[in-house]
Structure 1
Amino acid sequence: MKFKSDTDILFDVFIFGPVLILLIPLSEIIKNIDDKSAILTLVIILAVISFLLWARFGTYYVIKESQLLYRCGPIRGSIDIQSVHSLTKNKTLWLGTKPALARKGIILKYNKYDDIYISPKNKDQFIAELLKRNNNIQVTES
Structure 2
Amino acid sequence: MTFKSKRDLPVFLLLVASIIVIAIALLTPVVLHIISTDAIDWILVILLIIGFAIVSGILIWNYFDIYYEFRDDYLIVKNGIFKSKIPYNTIKKVKATKRMFTGYRTNSSRDALEIEYSYGMGSVIISPEHKDKFIAELMNRSPQAVFYTSNN
Does the CA contact (< 8 Å) of 1:106 and 1:117 recur in 2? yes
Deviations along 1:65-106, whole A, 9 cap, x unmatched? 121111111121111111112211244254211111111200
Shift of 1:61: 0.9
Report what 2:132 is aligned to. 124
- Output the CA distance in 2 between the equivalents of 1:57 and 1:93: 16
- Output the CA distance in 1 between the equivalents of 2:90 and 2:66: 23
Pick from 68, 73, 78: which aligns with 1:71? 78
Q: 1:25/1:67 Cα in 2 relative to 1: closer, same or farther (>3 Å)?
A: same
- Output the CA distance in 2 between the equivalents of 1:93 and 1:75: 17
**What is the number of residues matched between the two proteins?**
139
Q: 1:47/1:89 Cα in 2 relative to 1: closer, same or farther (>3 Å)?
A: same
Q: Which runs of 5+ in 2 are unaligned?
A: 35-39
**Which is worse superposed, 105-114 or 69-78?**
105-114
Question: Which one-letter code corresponds to 1:7 in the other structure?
Answer: R
Paired residue secondary structure (2:106) = coil
- Output the CA distance in 1 between the equivalents of 2:54 and 2:123: 30
Greater C-alpha Rg: 2
Q: Which 4+ stretches in 1 moved above 4 angstroms?
A: 23-26
**Which is worse superposed, 93-102 or 75-84?**
93-102
Report what 1:103 is aligned to. 110
Pick from 128, 134, 138: which aligns with 2:142? 134
Paired residue secondary structure (2:61) = helix
TM-score (norm 1): 0.84
Report what 1:38 is aligned to. 45
Paired residue secondary structure (2:48) = helix
TM-score (norm 2): 0.79
